[in-house]
């Protein structure tokens, strides 16, 4: 069984674990399925809005694809979420991501 199949099996066994969904998105990215990765990351944000790595990864990917406005919107959504939850490290990382991509 390959890595992607293992992750998919983990999702079937525990669909409420956002980490597995995130790992599948990262695996899709590494395989070159960028659109699938982006769609999955948006889905994770919608379904698991407090799973913070997703905001950074999606925003960074959008910046790399020269989709600056979308990247900034996602980073700002993550910033709002991090402020609400008082996650200082997440907040600073997202702010830095915006700064280096403006």
CATH number at residue 68: 1.25.40.10
Domain ranges, residue 42: 3-101
Report the share of the chain in percent with pLDDT over 70: 100
pLDDT at 1: 81
Give the count of domains, the chain.
1
Distance, in Å, from the CA atom of 10 to the CA atom of 64, rounded to the nearest integer, reads 29
52, 87 in Cβ contact below 8 A?
A: yes
Distance, in Å, from the CA atom of 21 to the CA atom of 41, rounded to the nearest integer, reads 8
Distance, in Å, from the CA atom of 14 to the CA atom of 28, rounded to the nearest integer, reads 19
Instruction: List, for residues 15-62, the tens digit of each pLDDT value.
Output: 999 999 999 999 999 999 999 999 999 999 999 999 999 999 999 999
What phi, psi does 26 have (nearest 5°)? -65, -40
Q: Give the residue, 100 or 102, on which the prediction is more confident.
A: 100
pLDDT at 67: 97
Distance, in Å, from the CA atom of 21 to the CA atom of 16, rounded to the nearest integer, reads 9
pLDDT at 102: 82
Report the share of the chain in percent with pLDDT over 90: 98
């Amino acid at each position: 069984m390959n890595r992607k199949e293992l992750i998919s099996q983990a999702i079937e066994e525990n669909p409420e674990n956002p980490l597995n969904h995130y790992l599948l998105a990262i695996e899709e990215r590494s395989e070159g399925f960028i659109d699938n990765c982006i769609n999955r990351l948006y889905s994770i944000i919608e379904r698991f809005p407090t799973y913070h790595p997703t905001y950074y990864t999606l925003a960074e990917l959008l910046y790399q694809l020269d989709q600056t406005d979308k990247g900034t919107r996602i980073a700002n959504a993550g910033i709002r979420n991090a402020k609400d939850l008082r996650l200082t490290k997440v907040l600073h990382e997202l702010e830095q991501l915006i700064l280096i991509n403006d």
